[in-house]
Amino acid sequence: MRTMKKYKLTILGLVFVPWVATAQLLPITQLPDTIVDQLDRSVNRNAERLQELKQQRLVEQQLQKTLAIKAQLLDPLVQLPSVLPILDTRKQLLWNEVEIELGQRAVEREWLILLSAEQWLQVLKVVPTLSQYVHTRKNLDSIDLQLIKLRVSESLDNTLKLRQQLPELLAPYLSRNFIYQPQANLSERSTAQPVEQDKASAMCDVPIALGMVDTAITSDHSAWPSKSAKRFALIQQDFLPAAIPVSYSHGTAVAGVLAGDNASLSPLLPLLTLYSAGAFYAQNEYQQGATLDSILQALNWLVAQNNRVVNMSLTGPDNPVLNEVVSRLVAKDIILVAAAGNGGPAAAPLYPAAYDGVIAVTAVDDAKRLYRWANQGDYIDFAASGVKVLTTRADGSVGRESGTSMATPVVSAKVACLLASSPELTLAQVVEQLQQQAQDLGEPGKDNQYGYGLLTRPLKAGL
């Protein structure tokens, strides 16, 4: 005969030992109602307590899982101090970079006004005292406007107070001198040694001119094609104060995606003239910042060099001055391709990517999974490879970089190749062509994660 397992149940001090066998049945004893009620209440309490323990255990497990994940990740934005003195190479103070509302950063007490020369004269007639705050005036000839930089007193370093001092018509053209940041994540750099790999196809094999606003670029990197080959020309212009510490890391990495060519790298554009407008200074050993003032001057120069496509692997806050410049460039059929941002899935939109008329690019890895720090939103247009991308580094080496910055030049190259074959295309027609070349990812159609889908090399012909 097969032996059956025996279980003992103890409730309220009473021991019940049910024996299960094939040869007999235990007699059924009727218990008093009071004991039955007590048993019911006890069982219910025990069941509730058991459920609470299960829930607590699940919460603890989830917390441990979250902590384990966070332990493996570094915040993509290393915190800068609330006041960061920017010094020149002689240790003289150039300006204080300060944290303001919503975690944004700006140059302390510096404001920008964007007006035509005639408008500026009209403003001075109404508020002649404004001239005492003027620090610089620079013509942005490409958009027929002047950029006036004001340095105001501490008491006026406030949007509301400053606007009260200005004519009402000036309000839409006033902005702080905000700080913008590149969108490569140094915390996810790979130190793995690159290996020789099969050459990927170029985006296109025709001569291309392309502009970019970024850090300076290391001009003597061994991955650049030799000058004798006449396949890569680098034209650089910086828009920074004299004697300010210059950074090369980010711009060199972006340029490497476009033009790097050696045993490990395959250029997107093997016949490239790259116009690099240097706008970023070194905030510290690892981070870079660019003032809105420098970015606008850089854009003005790039347009003056007849660049119709401009790569902007940078992000920052919305403001009326940048919005006006972008709107005017879009009206001139200048195509701006910008990084969507590495703020994370719940982050607010970042600019210039979120402006109308700008092509916003997010990043995916080799498995076509969305980059974990990528911004999301209805402004995302396209995705491209941007996780652990092999590219050039400022120290002359080759390594892997991650971020929406690394994905942006892929789309810029695609746009430039389209225009090289069909220069008459408008922005709307370029976007339509890109949609036909994109592989739909995520939800069908355009979505907040991948936009219209993934763009890869090479340029597809005959669409």
Q: How many Å separate Cα 263 from the centre of its chain?
A: 29
Looking at the DSSP bridge assignments, the partners of residue 246 are: 281
| Residue 284, token pair as written in the block | 């510290």
* Residue partners of 188: CB distance under 8 A and separation at least 6: 74, 76, 387, 388, 401, 402, 403
Q: Among the options 142, 157, 175, 214, which is catalytic?
A: 214
Is 214 part of the annotated catalytic residue set? Answer: yes
Q: Among the options 142, 247, 385, 405, which is catalytic?
A: 405
Using an 8 Å Cβ cutoff, are 391 and 256 in contact?
yes
Rounded Cα–Cα distance for residues 118 and 146 (Å):
10
Is 250 part of the annotated catalytic residue set? Answer: yes
* Residue partners of 180: CB distance under 8 A and separation at least 6: 289, 290, 291, 292, 295, 314, 315, 316
Rounded Cα–Cα distance for residues 16 and 9 (Å):
5
Is 190 part of the annotated catalytic residue set? Answer: no
Any idea of the CA torsion for 445, 447, 451, 452, to the nearest 10 degrees? 0
Q: Which residues of 200-221 are buried (b: 16+ CB within 10 A; e: fewer)?
A: eebbbeeebbbbbbbbbbbeeb
| Residue 147, token pair as written in the block | 């950029």
335-339 sheet: strands from edge to edge: 232-238, 272-278, 208-214, 309-312, 335-339, 358-364, 382-385
3-state secondary structure of 7: coil
CA distances from 243 to 100, 282, 283 (A): 27, 12, 14
Cβ-based burial of 388 (10 A; exposed 0-12, middle 13-18, buried ≥19): middle
Q: What share of the chain is helix, strand, coil (3-state, %, to 5)?
A: 30, 25, 40
Rounded Cα–Cα distance for residues 327 and 357 (Å):
8
3-state secondary structure of 112: strand
For the beta carbon of residue 101, count every other beta carbon within 10 angstroms.
9
Q: Among the options 250, 294, 313, 402, which is catalytic?
A: 250
Bridge-based pairing of strands 232-238 and 382-385 is unpaired
Using an 8 Å Cβ cutoff, are 315 and 361 in contact?
no
| Residue 363, token pair as written in the block | 């990043």
**Looking at the annotation, which residues are catalytic?**
214, 250, 405
